[in-house]
Amino acid sequence: MSEEKQKTKDRLLDAAENLFASKGFDDVSIRELAAAADVNVAAVNYHFQGKENLFQQVILRRFVVQRDNTLKALENILSDASNKPDIALVIQTLVEEYLKGTLSSPGGGSFMLLVAREMQSQNHHGSTTFFKEMVMPVFQAYSMALMDVRPCLRQEQINWILASIVGQIHHFIMRWHKKKSFDAQSEEVQIMVRVFPALGLSVDDYITQVTNHITAFSTAAIDSLYPEVSP
């Protein structure tokens, strides 16, 4: 693909991500997408064969990178033959990669809003892609890792553990993006930081503190609910 064609595709993906996030899939027209990307209407069909496929590609563009980074990080800690990871390290790896992929990457806020809209939509345009390409590979890999480092855990218990961890991650992501939606000097931000001082940190320090908290909190809960069984 020529450089010019790739630039056009990237502009369409960027425009689509912002519009789908702010308005939802059904309320965005192809003409509106083309205007936002500064291309002609035919370019949407030429590059993506329609709005539905464009939406799928918006999801895949971000999720593939985050999925691969998350799985690679897990592979790295599991392949370290000199030091078998404990359950805290498995949790830390999942949390840290998820947060970095969402908070440190440009456009992460828009994409989270897009995903939130999609999860609440009755039409579920991108749900198959989301669950098949992102959720299942990561869920399966981390389920196996948790079972490996804590053999006493049953699959049903792991399902609850991962759901709890991901719920915590989403909570702290949305807190950060909510703060970023206000002017930095606004009264709203001042109140948010006063109530939860970590929101006043840099994004990297925020990721570190949230990762440490979720890891410690979740590990303690697992140890309490499902203690290791001595051989």
For the chain, which ranges sit under pLDDT 50? none
With tokens 């991108």, the residue in question is 126
Query: For 133-146, what is each residue's pLDDT tens digit?
Result: 778 999 999 999 99
Question: What is the pLDDT at residue 231?
Answer: 57
Distance CA 184, CA 179 (A): 8
Query: What is the residue extent of each domain of the chain?
Result: 60-225
Question: What is the pLDDT at residue 210?
Answer: 98
| Contact (Cβ atoms closer than 8 angstroms) between residue 112 and residue 105 | no
With tokens 């790295």, the residue in question is 76
Q: Which amino acid is at 102?
A: T
Question: What is the pLDDT at residue 127?
Answer: 62
Question: What is the pLDDT at residue 207?
Answer: 96
Buried (b) or exposed (e) across 199-223, using 16+ Cβ within 10 A? beeeeeebbeebbeebbeebbeebe
Note the pTM of the prediction, 2 decimals. Answer: 0.82
Please state the CATH superfamily assignment of the domain spanning residues 60-225 in this structure: Tetracycline Repressor, domain 2 (1.10.357.10)
